Structure 1
């Protein structure tokens, strides 16, 4: 790159973390997800602990922010807030990675949405069960594990049974059988 090329290049602000008000966030018009699905468990988790994983947003000219990654988290957070389930000890904000470097780069924003969703792999049934078993070792009972994770008691009980069934049953559960 020549000195002349560098001189013409606009200054781009680096990404930064910020706590943003939910009311400042808007869905991306090119959001790849047509359905956000059932938010019940995610909403329960957010109601218990707030949002832990930052959303990725792009600043808008009006001072708001457009969501690039985290549409489900944002929707579940709004539901929890509107239902009066927001954690009392937490501000009504969510952590966001603000990406001013993506302003005006719609194609790059869509690439980010694809990468965010294509590369995601849920934990397996046995991995989740192992996590619940670890929580039991810390003295949490099924009801408390269910409350803290936003899952139903029956789900936690079934998952904990899986930890005692052996490799064949674990492999079958992980394969969705």
Structure 2
């Protein structure tokens, strides 16, 4: 099966005139090889998404601050104050998790959910609440997408990424020895 790119505009998706196989090409490779007009289109498209994400984060922080301010005005130990403080903690935890996922993805973490659980259980965050990716890398190096060696075909069925050998019955053997073609 041919996995090279076809129909690629010259200069886009090619590095120095060499067409990379699709299986090996990443978005970053494609972006680096793209011409300036294509890069401008991609940047323009993602600019709105980034600004929406920043606005959403600012809104969450403002909501958390408003909840904490309102809770501080209520009577200490009241049910309403406890509920508002718990809601503020949930908002803060959601923001912390979203920030972790963004930083961990940029650092090349292969399994973000597992990395979040490891960081939470080991408290791998700075004083400011930002994830400590280097400490995570030292304690759990397997989380960072190290490429694995491809498995050699060993006729182990679906376990080696191959189709299992078809099961043959005694009837198949008898028909084959009698010269009858299989159905």
Indicate the structure with greater strand content: 1
Judge same fold: TM > 0.5, yes or no: no
- Structure number with the higher helix fraction is 2
**TM-score of the pair, normalised by structure 2:** 0.22
Higher relative contact order (CA 8 A, sep 6+): 1
Larger Cα-atom Rg: 2
